[in-house]
Amino acid sequence: QVQLVESGGGLVQAGDSLRLSCAASGRTLSPYAMGWFRQAPGKEREFVAAISRSGGSTNYADSVKGRFTISRDNAKNTAYLQMNSLKPEDTAVYYCAVRSRMGLISLSAMEYGYWGQGTQVTVSS
């Protein structure tokens, strides 16, 4: 069973940066694509970014492209989300996730079988 623990969230001002981490235990993550999703109050969970198992391929939501960077360190069994130029509309609970099966990047939450508990990111204007 995979356990994912996110950290690094907090309260920041618009324009600031945060780096989220997702540490995994219980399974080696290297064979699996990973993703970050977020959910704002009153809204559905949405895709933010995803990374292939090797880290060589990434995909981003249009709303974060150019500001956020997803990465992973398979030796540490950890994924990261570097968030720069944060905006109030980035306020949400951020979740990391691991695909249920080995395969390519997916933008669909349905393809991810393992989820962390989430970390709150609040951006004030």
CA dihedral angle for residue 109, residue 24, residue 81, residue 11, rounded to 10 degrees: 100
Q: pLDDT per position in the chain (125 positions), as tens?
A: 889 999 999 999 999 999 999 999 998 888 999 999 999 999 999 999 999 999 999 999 999 999 999 999 999 999 999 999 999 999 999 999 999 888 889 999 999 999 999 999 999 99
Q: Establish how many alpha carbons lie within 13 A of residue 84's alpha carbon, considering only the half-sphere containing its beta carbon.
A: 6
Are 67 and 49 in contact by the 8 Å Cβ rule? The answer is: no
